[in-house]
Amino acid sequence: MKTVYFDCFAGLSGDMVLGSLVDLGADFDELKEISFGAKISREKVKNGITATRIRVLPEKEPHRTLKEVIKMLDDAPLDQDIIETSKGIYRSLAEAESKIHGEDIDKIKFHDVGAIDAMVEITGSVWALKKLDVGNVYSSPIPLGGKGQGERTEAGHHGFPIPSPATLELLARRKVPVYSKGVPYELTTPTGAAIITNLARDFTTVPSMTLDKVGYGAGSRETEHPNVLRAILGAERGGLEEEVRVIEADIDDMNPELYEHLTQVLLEKGAKDVTLAPIHMKKSRPGISLKVLSPLDRYQELLEEIFLQTTTLGVRVSEARQVRLQRELTTVKTPWGEVKVKIGKLGDMLVNIAPEYDSCRKIALEKNVPLKRVYEVAVSEALRSLG
């Protein structure tokens, strides 16, 4: 599966994302055909690193509401999945602006991000990823602009602080890891933050992958450091690696009836796995060892939920890397109906076939067929369909 990793060492903006993807090979001539009538240009610039800069004209336009932006997207000559993903990016922007300004989401008028250039950058980035046949997107932690306390910082849009409130709100919603670069100007824009928080699966180090190509997208500001976004294109190698946190607690004074609810809540909140194991604790008390596998961006929320839902007074936290097979969800036909099946692959090699329990059990109950028989047939049909 093709993967793009965005190395945001200088921040990111909409034009930097789009420029890096064009630099990777997304067809610029095709991009011009879906530019909402705007004029777009491409040039190679050098600021320590040679990169592709995309310019969209006009840059200044009347402010638009979310409804007006969605209407323009619906009328665009784009595939439906690109339109829906782009709508999702704009909705997240509108929700952030609505919270910041205390206005109804339908009354929010986009300023810079409602202009044609931002629309080209957002939809163009989604389109380019599809054209490059990218299945997974990852990103590095995000750097922010703004000097330290007492140091002079340039004024942002309409005098708002840097980083902009919209940028921080978008990053906070995904619990994105951030850090300061200590520069007096904006590094990550609301458009860039909206794109990356909607498209990236995780914000971590480079995943295990075979490198294919590297692209660079240039920002518009001239800086003392290379103002570019690096996009690394490749194929993930075998299993998918991801940094996670392991949260553990040993509990000996909690009503056992509460564990089912605890497990369900943690999984709904984004835990990758929740396990319970019986143990013997001090004074020979029987207890339960709780272990929760947490994505980095869900850690704080899951930690809070553990304290709220259990009687523990403290937990142990450790860093780990999860390696998992590439997964695909497919549907196979059996004599009794359709069954959902998970396919696990190591690179191109088929490793595991796992029918979905709920899907199989529903058929077993409705058709009065032994559950194990449904499993066997589902696996057989999956093997046959995969050749």
CA distance 111 to 121: 15
pLDDT of residue 113: 52
pLDDT of residue 159: 57
pLDDT of residue 230: 97
Phi, psi dihedral angles at 253 (to 5 degrees):
-135, 35
CA distance 386 to 47: 49
pLDDT of residue 152: 44
CA distance 97 to 108: 7
319 shares a domain with 183 = no
259 shares a domain with 332 = no
CATH number, domain containing residue 366 = 3.10.20.300
259 shares a domain with 160 = no
143 shares a domain with 31 = yes
Phi, psi dihedral angles at 243 (to 5 degrees):
-75, 135
Q: Give the residue from 323, 353, 378 where a domain finishes.
A: 323
313 shares a domain with 177 = no
CATH number, domain containing residue 255 = 3.30.70.1380
Q: Give the residue from 270, 297, 323 where a domain finishes.
A: 323
CB-facing half-sphere around the CA of 232: CA atoms within 13 A: 17
219 shares a domain with 168 = yes
Select from 212, 206, 169 the least CA-distant residue to 6.
206
Number of domains forming the structure of the chain: 3
303 shares a domain with 336 = no
pLDDT of residue 100: 82
Token digits for 304? 């809070």
Domain extent at residue 291:
242-323
373 shares a domain with 343 = yes
Contacts 24+ apart (CB under 8 A), 161-164: 162/186, 163/187, 163/188, 164/189, 164/190
Q: Give the residue from 290, 307, 323 where a domain finishes.
A: 323
Each residue's pLDDT tens digit in the chain (387 positions)? 689 999 999 999 999 999 999 999 999 999 998 888 889 999 999 878 999 999 988 656 667 788 888 999 999 999 999 999 999 998 898 888 888 877 777 766 665 455 788 889 999 999 999 999 998 899 999 999 875 444 444 544 555 678 889 899 999 989 899 998 878 888 999 999 999 999 998 898 888 788 999 999 999 888 878 999 999 999 876 566 778 899 999 999 999 999 999 999 999 998 999 999 999 998 889 999 999 999 888 899 999 999 999 999 999 999 998 888 877 888 999 999 999 999 988 877 888 999 999 999 999 999 999 999 999 999 999 998 887
166 shares a domain with 217 = yes
268 shares a domain with 219 = no
156 shares a domain with 9 = yes
Token pair 């997304």 is found at 26
CA distance 242 to 202: 8
257 shares a domain with 116 = no
